[in-house]
Amino acid sequence: MNKLKINHLLPIIIFFVIGCNGGDVDVTPPSMEVISYTPVPTEEEICGTQEPLVFQLAGDGELTFDVIFSDNDALSQYKVDIHNNFDCHGHGGGTAPSIAVPNIANQTVDWTVLDIQDISGTSAPIIKTLTVPPNVTAGNYHFHIQVIDESGNDSPFVNFHSLKIKNPLDDVPPQINVQAPASSFSIQKGEAVNFVGQVTDERSLSDGGNGVLYLAYTDLSSGNTFTTDKAFPFDENVDTNFNFDFEYTIPQTLVAGDYRFSLGANDGVRNVASFVLFDVEITN
């Protein structure tokens, strides 16, 4: 009886072993060999960090890549993704708040690309050219090329670069001039501080729809940056000069300590002004 049971089980065991050995799982990700990029990327500062491969382009310019995708088994798809990095996501740091200014002349266009193409075989040479919108919103963008094989393997953090984009109508950032407060001061929680000055530019601050003045602060003990509710979009009535005089009350919820406040501004096409910084001691 025992021999009979073993004889019946033997074919099942042999089938199971053969099946396991014959079905190797592909865990090798595909690769991308770069033949050339046009324009040639250079080392630039992005959101306070030096990056080795940054592409600089202007509206109506072209970005061309010549690459070869390869895989040990079978390729499936590649994806090209371009989107704005105005908020410095993945880099940390603060930036201008999102604004919506209606009925602005010459509204700019963010450069957005999401292109997914099927490919096959173990090698696929690809040459592709992407054109920047003519009236593009200026600023930092992310540029990502991703390739996937038929087993779903990919290398998600490879071939991830930055773009610095200029608007061809205006590449001069605005300037912030401050009369008050002083660059360093002490203030108690619950007290108010006045910010007085002007934002100036060679071209209308509103033309393009991205113009704004805003106040942010960084907790120096943690490094965390927060944008306050003090944001002043430049509507169509703003030309080359914007006078500001506003009050900000220090929240009672802040922990006493050292902070760095910053006034920032963008013009209409989103050229970024140099920040005006204030070293602030907040007390109870």
> Which region among 38-47, 111-120, 153-162 has the lowest average model confidence (pLDDT)?
153-162
CA 35 to chain centroid: 26
Q: 274 and 158, same structural domain?
A: no
- Cα torsion 170, 95, 44, 162: sign: negative
Name the more confident of 98 and 87: 87
Q: How confident is the model at residue 116 (pLDDT cuts 50, 70, 90)?
A: very high
The owner of tokens 């499936």 is 76
Q: 188 and 148, same structural domain?
A: no
The owner of tokens 């430049």 is 234
258-261: Cβ within 8 A, 24+ apart: 258/220, 258/221, 258/282, 259/217, 259/218, 259/219, 259/220, 260/217, 260/218, 260/220, 261/215, 261/216, 261/217, 261/218
Residue 159's nearest CA partner among 75, 58, 61, 78 is 78
Looking at the domain assignment, is residue 26 inside a domain?
A: no
Q: What is the pLDDT of residue 17?
A: 44
Give the whole-angstrom CA distance, residue 279 versus residue 272: 21
Q: What is the pLDDT of residue 88?
A: 82
Q: 143 and 77, same structural domain?
A: yes
Per-residue CA distances from 79 to 20, 163, 267 (Å): 33, 17, 33
What CATH number is attached to the domain comprising 120? 2.60.40.3880
Q: What is the pLDDT of residue 158?
A: 78
Of 166, 184, 215, the one marking the end of a domain is: 166
Domain of residue 180, residue span? 175-283
pLDDT at 168 exceeding the cut of 50:
yes
Q: How confident is the model at residue 82 (pLDDT cuts 50, 70, 90)?
A: very high
DSSP symbol at 102: -
Q: 212 and 99, same structural domain?
A: no
Of 166, 195, 219, the one marking the end of a domain is: 166
Tell me: the pLDDT tens digits for 255-280?
999 999 999 999 999 999 999 999 99
Q: How confident is the model at residue 209 (pLDDT cuts 50, 70, 90)?
A: very high
Note the residue count of the chain.
284
pLDDT at 91 exceeding the cut of 80:
no
pLDDT at 13 exceeding the cut of 90:
no
pLDDT at 103 exceeding the cut of 80:
no
Looking at the domain assignment, is residue 126 inside a domain?
A: yes
Q: How confident is the model at residue 228 (pLDDT cuts 50, 70, 90)?
A: very high
Q: What is the pLDDT of residue 37?
A: 97
Q: 147 and 226, same structural domain?
A: no
Looking at the domain assignment, is residue 3 inside a domain?
A: no
DSSP symbol at 98: P
How many domains would you assign to the chain? 2
* 135 three-state secondary structure: coil
Looking at the domain assignment, is residue 11 inside a domain?
A: no
Q: Who contacts 136 (Cβ-Cβ below 8 Å, separation ≥6)?
A: 58, 59, 108, 109, 110, 111, 165, 166, 167
CA 22 to chain centroid: 45
Neighbours of 52 (CB within 10 A): 10
Residue 125, preceding bond cis, omega within 30 degrees? no
Q: 130 and 53, same structural domain?
A: yes
* 83 three-state secondary structure: strand
Looking at the domain assignment, is residue 271 inside a domain?
A: yes
Q: 179 and 155, same structural domain?
A: no
Q: How confident is the model at residue 188 (pLDDT cuts 50, 70, 90)?
A: very high
Q: 204 and 108, same structural domain?
A: no
Give the whole-angstrom CA distance, residue 70 versus residue 72: 7
Instruction: Read off the pLDDT of each residue in 222-245 and give the average, rounded to a whole number.
Output: 94
* 15 three-state secondary structure: helix
Of 166, 198, 224, the one marking the end of a domain is: 166
What CATH number is attached to the domain comprising 183? 2.60.40.770
pLDDT at 123 exceeding the cut of 60:
yes
The mean predicted confidence, pLDDT, of the chain is 89
Q: What is the pLDDT of residue 104?
A: 73
Q: What is the pLDDT of residue 173?
A: 97
Q: 132 and 68, same structural domain?
A: yes
Q: What share of the chain is helix, strand, coil (3-state, %, to 5)?
A: 5, 50, 40
The single-letter code of the amino acid at 198 is Q
Q: 188 and 158, same structural domain?
A: no
Q: 273 and 179, same structural domain?
A: yes
Q: 240 and 114, same structural domain?
A: no
